[in-house]
Amino acid sequence: MTLFPENFADALLFDDCPHEDLTTVGLGIGSVPGRIRAQFKTPGIVAGAEIAAAVLSRAGASVCLSARDGDLLEAGATILTAEGPAESLHAGYKIAQCVMEYASGIAFRTREMVDAARAVSPKVQVAGTRKHWPGGKRIALAGLLAGGGIVHRFGLSDSILVFDQHRVFCDDFEAAFRALQARSPERKIAVEAGSPEEAMTFVRLGADIIQCERFSPEVFASFADAARAESPNVRLSAAGGVNAKNAALYAEAGADILVTSAPYWGAPQDVKMRFERL
């Protein structure tokens, strides 16, 4: 289940129709009852359906979900049905359509990565980053989760990840790291490294997770062997340029987590919104 505040659906609606629907009002058809069926044009993974349903509901339609996020549907299968006056259907349908199309496209690309990686390493996780389009977190993450991925970071307040952009401000990074550990004893600490040498320093410092930025699969594999010899419980993530084409290579190299933003960028999944008058 995707949780989001009611005003999220309202904000999407008001962005598209801040006053009145000039076409529907001008034609005098606002009160005519109708129905919309949302269906995939090609087989796909449902994502964003709950958000789409909330948008249509807030617009004044009665909505019935026929599928849930994560369901794999054939072309022509119904995702949801909405009934109501034409003014409500027209107010919400395009936003609902776009949410499902973008989220389902992300779900498809996520599933590609998950399937490729787990073919060689069944326990590896594909983690989506914060690098989605501004304001699109809920839609992007709905797609990511529906495709079998996990969330790398919801934001700055749920996890600890030390970047070079943090270390540049530290006079004594080891002392700062110890202070960070003391301040957050219940949380794991991840540190991003730009080279195997730097990464090994962080392993010896006691970081729980090493995020290896733009290591080649070969370099990653060599580092993984050395890191686990030094600290058997350390978790290793591959980041930077990780996508469906090389996911299996990084999984085979020993990555526990594939950190990626690749699923967010690509073609949406076509969703047909079929109208009929009642």
pLDDT of residue 1: 62
Mean of the per-residue pLDDT values of the chain: 96
Taking the C-alpha atoms of 140, 143, 145 and 150 in order, what is their torsion angle to the nearest 10 degrees? Answer: -50
Examine the domain organization and report whether 219 and 161 are in the same domain. Answer: yes
User: What does DSSP say about strands 257-260 and 235-239: parallel, antiparallel, or unpaired?
Assistant: parallel
Is 237 found in the same domain as 180? yes
Per-residue confidence (pLDDT) for residue 2, from 0 to 100:
64
Q: 140 and 247: one domain? A: yes
Joined tokens for residue 75: 């072309």
| DSSP line for 68-106 | -TT-EE-TT-EEEEEEEEHHHHHHHHHHHHHHHHHHHHH
* CATH number, domain containing residue 86: 3.90.1170.20
Domain match, 52 and 190 both: no
The rounded distance, in Å, linking the Cα atoms of 2 and 99 is 13
Is 135 part of a structural domain of the chain?
Answer: yes
In a domain, 65, yes or no: yes
Same domain flag for 166 and 118: yes
Yes or no: say if 220 and 252 are a contact pair by the CB < 8 Å rule.
Answer: no
Name the residue range of residue 242's domain.
114-264
Identify whether 109 is part of a domain. Answer: no
Are 120 and 88 found together in one domain? no
Please tell me the pTM assigned to this model. 0.94
**Residues 256, 148 share a domain:** yes
CATH code, domain with 126: 3.20.20.70
d(CA 48, CA 53) in angstroms, rounded, equals 9
Q: Do residue 45 and residue 118 come from a single domain?
A: no
With beta carbons less than 8 A apart as the criterion, state whether 149 and 127 touch: yes
What is the tally of structural domains in the chain?
2
Q: Write the pLDDT tens digit of every residue in 152-203.
A: 999 999 999 999 999 999 999 999 999 999 999 999 999 999 999 999 999 9
pLDDT in tens, 59-106: 999 999 999 999 999 999 999 999 999 999 999 999 999 999 999 999
**36 and 70: one domain?**
yes
Assess if residue 56 is contained within a domain. yes
Same domain, 91 and 131: no
Q: Is residue 26 part of a domain?
A: yes
Give yes or no: residues 20 and 37 share one domain: yes
